[in-house]
Amino acid sequence: MISSTELAAIVRAYNPNADFERLDAAYEYGRRMHDGQKRHSGEEYFMHPVAVAAILAEQRLDDDTVITALLHDTLEDTGSTYTELTERFGLGVAELVNGVTNLTNLQLSSHQTKQAENFRKLFMAMSKDMRVILVKLADRLHNMRTIKHMKPEKQVKKARETMEIYAPLAGRMGMQWMREELEDLSFKVLNPEGRQSILRRFVSLQRETGDVVVKITADIEYELDRKGIIADVYGRAKKPYSIWRKMEEKKQSFSRLSDIYGFRIITNSEDDCYAVLGALHTRWSAVPGRFKDYISQPKSNGYRSIHTTVSGRDGKRVEMQIRTHQMHEVAEGGVAAHWSYRDGVQEENPFAVDPSSWIDSVTDRLSDGEDHSEFLEHVKLEMYADKVFCFTPKGDVIKLPKGATPLDYAYGIHTRIGDSCVGAKVDGLRVPLWTRLRNGQSVEIITAEGQRPQATWIDIVTTGRAKTAIRRSLREEDRARFIKLGRELARVGFENVGKRATEKALKTAANLLGEADGDNLLEKLGTAELTTGAVLSALYPELEGLHAEEVLPDKAVIGLDPDQPFQRADCCQPVPGERIVGITWRGKGVMVHTIDCNALSEFESSSARWVDLHWQPGQHATAHGVSLNIVMGNDPGVLGRICTLIGEQRANISDVEFVDRKPDFFRILMSVEVRDLEHLHRVMTVVDADSDVAELTRHKDLARAPS
């Protein structure tokens, strides 16, 4: 465990004016409060807060942040109180410790809805003081470094949470070194064999080619010396997880993967960065599409650097990052560079982003989420996103995630522009809406009055803002369509009992059934959440049972033992009048299938389970659901007319599912309740005779066979 003196020495190296007496008091207080507590490894628990403090001190952070690290578990795990921390170390430290405690209590990898709500709380905590999340990230980093002492199942849970949440968050904050280490530590837990295979390949490659990093570093330094450019060159092989991810994304083996080495060239000035770029491209061939200038177009977290990939020694692709010393400090520390100290004063780095501005830029982009699951989707999209910069026809810059399309660009300008988008021009040429945009392209959106978002757009866009706007529009459109369908179902149902579905009647029924208004009632009728029978029963209790079909007094199926239960199989949905057979199931009784059901082939070798059955003659109830596959014209009134035709045959529609919607036709699965095979044939005949019905089949789904 690092001693108080050793920790003070780390701080003194960058901040000789620090309050070392206060720092020492926090160290002693934390050690006393955690006295007797042990970690899973058997070591004293206090070694963990000290290690977290050292990680933050190595980032040259201020006194309050380092002290918070020393005390970050006192409120949760000891008898310490918020009041006592305030009295001893000040309100700022107490607030930070309390913020870290609240973050620790968030179960960020739990159920989807709760996870999304916890993300909201996480961002709220960050917006108050981002140093809270810096302490939490350092806390997670040390826990991952010592994770081997946890139980295997806990290791997997923590590693997955780190990979999904904390690593991308560190990257989004510009702390790339921390992201890479968190990812690699998680990778070691989640896929140890994969990581070991990468490391073995590296050893084998080094044995074959020698130390490539040393050779390429020497090549770069030689070229820079020739041009008279002073710069520091650092090279390394990429982390195992980074290489594994590239192999997965590109579907390539290690032997075919070329850009596994990365180099950083740190210069004294911005002009030297471009001079270095010229020297590299003069010496080696640049790889097309692998150039990014984040100096002229910085990332939102302050990151500035020139990225280029060249075909280096022996044709191997080599990634180069070129930046100044100040840019490098931001690249390493990210948002944390705002609090960095040097020689006792807070360092003024012109490239460091104000944390409040950064978090505002993130939360503003997430403010449109209407429910928890959408908010969570937006958070993850934003955290994982790399940026591309496109230009409007007027020259304004629009920032978008990597992989964004013209539709994302349209919604990035305004929801109204996105909703009415019918096409796009990129650099003056008409392109499909699913085109992936690249840095520096000029984009023009073509709109048309009356255009509405299409369901297929959800799969085209990548930004949370666009997905939210499209879903909202589709919900509104679906609601209008379901209300229209519900109104038609209500009309048919009411007419069948000699009543009229007036607005007053619908409003009264809505009140009786606890719905907000008549439209809500109609929408639920249209989505099959309510039936017309339930509405009629609520309004006219005296009619209940009056128009019900006569049900046979005995069992409708003959061939069963007394009191033997049976069910109709969902796969073939047999109805009276069809030849049937039963299959016995333990705990389920007998499952009734049509004689030609494909699911029966699985039971050919189990003859003892077969039961000879047939339907009892006589009148059956209208209670046998059958799924119809209908392809019909996408014109006003068609669906309502089909519902009317079915209602006129005194069959009940219990569910409607829109399977595929096109501009001219759409396909639906409609569940219809009939009495028997003859009743079903009548229903299908009148529907199939409609001129707007292109296809009508009985839908049988083998996937729904009992198992």
> What is the pLDDT averaged over residues 260-270?
89
Residue among 553, 542, 532, 556 at smallest CA distance from 651: 532
The second-level CATH assignment, the architecture, of 551-707 is 2-Layer Sandwich (3.30)
- For residue 260, the model assigns a pLDDT of 74
What single string gives the DSSP state of each residue in 592-648? Answer: EEETT-GGGGGGTT-GGGEEEEEEPSS---S-EEEEEEEEEE-STTHHHHHHHHHHH
Residue among 668, 671, 667 at smallest CA distance from 646: 671
Q: Is-catalytic flag, 561?
A: no
Q: Is-catalytic flag, 76?
A: yes
Category of 696 on φ-ψ map: left (φ > 0), alpha (ψ -120 to 50) or beta: beta
- Does residue 242 have a pLDDT over 50? yes
- For residue 554, the model assigns a pLDDT of 44
- For residue 51, the model assigns a pLDDT of 95
User: What are the residues whose beta carbons fall under 8 Å from the beta carbon of 42, sequence distance 6 or more?
Assistant: none
Topology, domain 4-190? Hypothetical protein af1432 (1.10.3210)
- For residue 30, the model assigns a pLDDT of 93
> What is the pLDDT averaged over residues 386-396?
73
- For residue 365, the model assigns a pLDDT of 47
Largest CA distance in the chain: 102
Residue with tokens 């009728």: 525
**Which token pair is 72?**
């970050």
- Does residue 6 have a pLDDT over 80? yes
- Does residue 598 have a pLDDT over 70? yes
Q: Which of 19, 24, 44, 77 is catalytic?
A: 77
CATH, domain range 194-346: 3.30.460.10
Domains 4-190 and 194-346 share a fold: no
- For residue 342, the model assigns a pLDDT of 58
> What is the pLDDT averaged over residues 436-458?
85
Better-predicted residue by pLDDT, 305 or 121: 305
Phi, psi dihedral angles at 363 (to 5 degrees): -65, -30
- Does residue 70 have a pLDDT over 50? yes
Better-predicted residue by pLDDT, 588 or 410: 410
pLDDT digits 0-9 by tens, 335-377: 666 556 555 555 555 555 555 555 555 555 444 444 545 555 5
> What is the pLDDT averaged over residues 186-204?
84
pLDDT digits 0-9 by tens, 15-56: 888 899 999 999 999 999 999 999 888 899 999 999 999 999
- Does residue 224 have a pLDDT over 80? yes
Q: Where are the domains of the chain?
A: 4-190, 194-346, 472-543, 551-707
- pTM, two decimals, is 0.52
Residue among 98, 144, 135, 103 at smallest CA distance from 120: 103
> What is the pLDDT averaged over residues 216-240?
89
pLDDT digits 0-9 by tens, 503-562: 888 888 888 888 888 888 888 887 777 778 788 888 877 665 444 434 444 457 888 887
- Does residue 142 have a pLDDT over 90? yes
- For residue 174, the model assigns a pLDDT of 74
- For residue 335, the model assigns a pLDDT of 65
- For residue 620, the model assigns a pLDDT of 76
pLDDT digits 0-9 by tens, 618-642: 777 777 889 999 998 888 788 888 8
- For residue 120, the model assigns a pLDDT of 59
- Does residue 299 have a pLDDT over 90? no
- For residue 354, the model assigns a pLDDT of 55
- For residue 368, the model assigns a pLDDT of 47
Better-predicted residue by pLDDT, 673 or 172: 673
Phi, psi dihedral angles at 449 (to 5 degrees): -65, 135
| Distance (Å, whole) CA 36 – CA 32 | 9
- For residue 546, the model assigns a pLDDT of 41
Residue with tokens 């109104």: 487
Q: Which of 19, 24, 44, 76 is catalytic?
A: 76
> What is the pLDDT averaged over residues 497-507?
83
Mean confidence (pLDDT) of the chain: 81
- Does residue 300 have a pLDDT over 60? yes
- Does residue 112 have a pLDDT over 60? no
| Distance (Å, whole) CA 234 – CA 114 | 44
- Does residue 585 have a pLDDT over 90? no
- Does residue 236 have a pLDDT over 70? yes
pLDDT digits 0-9 by tens, 672-682: 988 888 889 88
* Runs of H (alpha helix) within 78-211: 82-89, 91-104, 112-128, 131-145, 152-161, 167-172, 176-190, 192-209
